Structure 1
């Protein structure tokens, strides 16, 4: 055991906490079990922060980072997360000590439970694992909803609480991240991406340090497989081929197997968009829809991308529907509205046009009593609805389209209203005003961010349009991935809550398609497309431009196999996402970069043809940038010219 001896911590810390025993060393310091003498000797956990630095200035920086992370933990409030008590600072003869104090959760970890079962030749059953998922997914949904990602889900970080038999999520990787940040900023070099347990964390987290909510879902699925099979993750995963082969060790219901497969997808965008989405599938009474095996190239939408797979804006591929495309979305929405399955079922499926206040006849109402129903609204509300209706009609947007999108946003903001319809009663007046306000916001977006041509096609877009745009852009040496990158960037700027979700089949997905339509036209016209050419005898070129929030540009370079290329993007930190796509993606090398926060890349080219560089904005402010590209002209050697080496 490393760290300071227990002997130096025998007295009450902070005049309050009595240390009982050492619980071991974590990734950022020593952990102790203690009694809180100010709270009837309640058990608690003290985690001491022990950065391996001695310089006072460095130590101060370390403490600032630790305190900032502690501030995040202090805001968490969920019964299945240990409560953060305080950040304790203690002055001792050997110097200041810093502790994070949390509630103690009594009970075995799921790793302990698994090892006990393995000794008798047993593992967890499918029913038990599904129950665990249904009990822990709401915790992840809460965490992700407040912007916190656990980063380190594994059986030894899940405790089966003795008091109520519920799983409790412990040992947040956010605090571990502080240790890494400290080492990066003030200590000796370390690998900054090793956040999470080997085998449990997805590759983008372990190798690139990229952490999203889907990384927690991936780790939870690995945890499920470990509990089901009793095998370590490394025994279930073929890293060379990036495939899981757990099916030979355990037989599961195809419905549950399909859920695990999607949670374990290699690309973050191919996984479920949220913990709530997984819960919804697990809870559905209908059979789970088992996804067809995705083609290998589905990991990198671009040239050669299978035409039957549609990349969702930041979400998993969606299988394209066959048959008629134009008008099918509107027909589906109309049917869902008729069945009362979409949104508030507002006045389209009830009695009123939500954007106009006019009566829509149905079995319970006729046009003859519209004035009586309208009288339920104040004159101000009637005027507001009339203005919305007039504005919608001026923009050429169908009422059902506006209703579907507005309902989706309304439910996101007011989840407590899910499944409820608003009435014309006075007590719903405030909610009706909120709904009308959201409808106005949607109309703002449709008017400001979509062309008239795109607005006219809302409700008729489908995957066939994306296929058609892709085929047309190939003539300009632009692949599907570039179009998706540009569309995704703008959609994420407008609708950050859905930036990583499955949206193409939802009402709001029609706006995604409209944005993609406009960006397709821009690429086709050359407005967002530029080919970088090198003058005879030169190998370096620099381009400069300005990006507004949600915008992007595509650059083409016609290069040869064997050449050595270097990219350097000069832009504000974290403000861009950079992609570098191959002329012909392969299963072994689908892309060189894709929507990455990196600002540089270098390497020897493995193909000849047009390479695509896509730069998109990921920030909320406009900024200037410079893209420097250097390519040697000696195709037989990857060695850069001498001048480039000197730089």
Structure 2
């Protein structure tokens, strides 16, 4: 039986890692972990691993979530951070017992083939996450009502009050980390991969790694002190919850609600709510943490009352289910983990890139090899490092010995330019585009022009130096074209997760007269090609590869739709 990675590479059954790109392969349906947990299906994939719906054979075949630790990071300090977050999540979840937080059951280590895998086991929650709900309503030109958002706040704030009483800060409040539970219509808070245990004496948490704070949070949702300084307060969660409320009540992403240049929210323009709710949200969103509400209970006292939450679950039950509605644990939004002292963001999103995801993600091998130089980036096989296992204290989590990472290859000269692998991938990070898509696109261009080289692995040997220089030159050309496209940050970040579902959604909007100046999808298509063709010459209309050039076409179209 064949096994496929998220890039559709074919692998033999029994492989733990893709032999083409090095990505850790998903577990097989029916596979049994630790002689107990039977894999049902994959729920999603993120920066620190995959999550699966599993059957507990020792508990009357109850459903549960099996969360795998397989960090998609490239640098040793990032891997150290990922390991720390995983271990902290397990230890903190053991302390939490709340009906609106999935119950933690166990942590375990299992050997699969020759590799050691590490898992957390939690309750499975049937329902739809609020980002999926946001997307479904968005396609209909709708959003949550103010009453529904106020009701959400009433039901989420007691959860935050509880975890804050334990000196725990979630740090990743966003629509995709909230599930509207099918059974009772209550919101459930998930994904505690970024939780922080606050020192009671300090009132804030800051990781001390390499002398600098480790930054984590979703851009647009996390406050500045969290994303830029690595500091986190209880009011940081309240800030993120307020942004979540604004997104849900307006039906618009955070970047459309906030003027980052002037540092102001678009109150009364994009954001139209009652004066009472506006006053509460403004205080939750205060720039200075000291100016915000300090506790969730303070907000609850000021919050107006609403009707039962069942009105929302009834609305969901009458809606057309989305393609991903069954995968409640898929996180489409991005959680950035910046390495200590760096601004290189890492995604965490429980979502398969082809489902689509950018946003738990990027394959470990794909990011790992960025440090190895372009000579190792062809179609060959790469080693992704060896995990060495040690036992860990209280929760019996394995300790992982971090792999040694190879150094960047030397720069190569192309014409008058000094194009090193490091310089190229630094520009990729600055653009915040998918590294995997970029590499595939350059490979496609490179091997199309040199069909006789297909299947050949570019090495770091002297005889391949000219070819590696040509690959770097093609990469530089693609980067320049992407920069000339002047894509928005949102469009660049979504490269890798666009699919035919996007064009189908735009077509539906056009047919219903809700695509702005575009009377039909064909008009949008023609205008997109007018910009695409000069930037990417030689690509035949209607024959663009879905995983490469088509992603850039979608990005251009997405910006045109957003600016309609």
Indicate the TM-score class for this superposition, using the shorter chain for normalisation: 0.3 to 0.5
Is the radius of gyration larger for structure 1 or structure 2? 1
Point out which structure has higher relative CO (alpha carbons under 8 A, 6+ apart). 2
